Structure 1
């Protein structure tokens, strides 16, 4: 029996997924959480074999949760199951140690098969996303440019961003300018939108 942990902040989605997977004779859902920062504790407490993680959750995003899980509970495999099928998310998830990446509208039988394959140590990736990931390539942004764009997402001023990241105003302006250039955007807001659309920001 493969023991599953489901992590998704939408209770209805989580419940529906649990109901579908519990119909499979070799799968059982042993834990459900609605926050990313609850994943490691739940995986440990319930001896989960496979964790199905959403990308966007409160507390901690699913990709960061996957990274922590790989370090803290290496026997627990990770399958990302998300609404947001973005190439950048796929690359980040695989780099964080996830064994698979599928979208939430994957048919139940295919989802169950993906769980089994990830449990066996195989890689499972939505084919359309894999092709998109190859086409888009890696994020052109540096880690600091990504931090600055993430802070800019809320629409704060340069001074606000500088205060949050403990950088000088000039350094923030330089990073914003570089990020705008690399994304091909005309404005800071457009750079944020493009980075989100490509999955370079979570």
Structure 2
């Protein structure tokens, strides 16, 4: 079986959302299925609407992963008006109801980026990278990163992640930890201690 990188099919959006919910362990924060799906959908459309590069991985025609990236000076690939409206509404609700959760996380990433930009001049950001957690084929994430590198070679990218996700994946592929901060999120499931990271690499 071979990993094939090609254009993302719209019918695979739902799978991408489910991969994110599972791979990024959103269930560590939320215990309600409706809220989990709502946040997964919010996160997906938030990043999809920003993306200037979209790479999808398929194994035997089956969707297996996706990478979204935003590069300065490039045109955005997808602009979903319903998606923008949804992101705006859910984002407003999150900031009001979960100031110690999503609001704190967002504030932390902004602070990290501001500090990072004092020393670096990145060309873009890796917004979203997920793979099917049930796929038996290894190397999907690596194949997606290689596709981005082939398209944007020589450019510097940064990304956000945390210790709930598999941040070691990026370290093993040459990304350097540029920023780190410990926070405690106040979520519906209780307090969640978290280490937030910003990684950087010249492709």
Fold in common (TM above 0.5):
no
Which one has the largest radius of gyration?
A: 1
Q: If the length of structure 2 is used for normalisation, what is the TM-score?
A: 0.30
Which gives a bigger RCO, structure 1 or 2 (Cα 8 Å, sep 6+)?
2
Which one has the bigger strand percentage?
2
